[in-house]
Amino acid sequence: MKKLLCLFILVLWGTHINAQGKYELFKFYEGYIITKTGEKQRGYIRYLDERDRYEKVVFKKEHKGKKQRFKAKDIAGYKVADVVYHAVQYEDIPFKSNRFLVLEKEGCLNLYSYRKLNNGAWETEKILKNKDRAVTTQKFVMGFAKKMAEMVGDDKELDNKVRNKEKGYSLFNMEAIIDEYNSRCNP
């Protein structure tokens, strides 16, 4: 049984590495970091593995330059491998987390994601962030209508549709709700 489990993990790991395409782990690629003041500093970013890229970034201003390491508390974000990561502190279960998250949708309501290993399997966690707060969508499983309505509350029409559980405004339509909100909001 242990051999079968190890073989399964190796197959998943191989699929994960092949899915990364043209980017090789631990090599440096052109990218940038975003300082706390919003300034982009171009340079080279090490393409880290799935476990590390949400926790830290390794940056060099020049290809042969000195390495600098940053955590989510140090900078506002970074870009490497055609993916933008923002440092986000969000309400997690049962406490707050602070890490680099993949920017999936940008607007008045940002949608972020990150992948984590849980009991030997990779799972994706989604986080919503508006101007007031950031929260994991795991908290939305119970009481979705109320919690989602709070995230889009300044759009009264959308708030009512979500609170009243109108057709098309449920947990399964979260990304469509985000798109609708972002198309009508004023940043």
Angle value at C-alpha 185, between 179 and 186, nearest 5 degrees = 140
Is the Cα dihedral 70, 75, 107, 81 positive or negative?
Answer: negative
The domain ranges of the chain are: 25-81
pLDDT at 22 over 90: no
In the prediction, which pLDDT does 16 show?
44
- One-letter amino acid at 83 equals V
Instruction: Report how far residue 148's alpha carbon sits from residue 141's, in angstroms, rounded to the nearest whole number.
Output: 10
pLDDT score at 13: 44
Q: What is the pLDDT of residues 40-66, one digit of tens each?
A: 999 999 999 988 999 999 999 999 999
The pLDDT, as a whole number, for residue 164 is 96
pLDDT at 32: 98
Poorest-confidence range of 40-49, 101-110, 118-127?
Answer: 118-127
What kind of fold does domain 25-81 have according to CATH? SH3 type barrels. (2.30.30)
Q: Cα–Cα–Cα angle for 148, 150, 153, nearest 5°?
A: 110
Three-state DSSP class for residue 158 = helix
Percent of the chain exceeding pLDDT 70 equals: 89
Cβ atoms of 50 and 118 within 8 Å: the answer is: no
Instruction: Pinpoint the alpha helices (H) of the chain.
Output: 2-19, 144-151, 156-163, 174-184
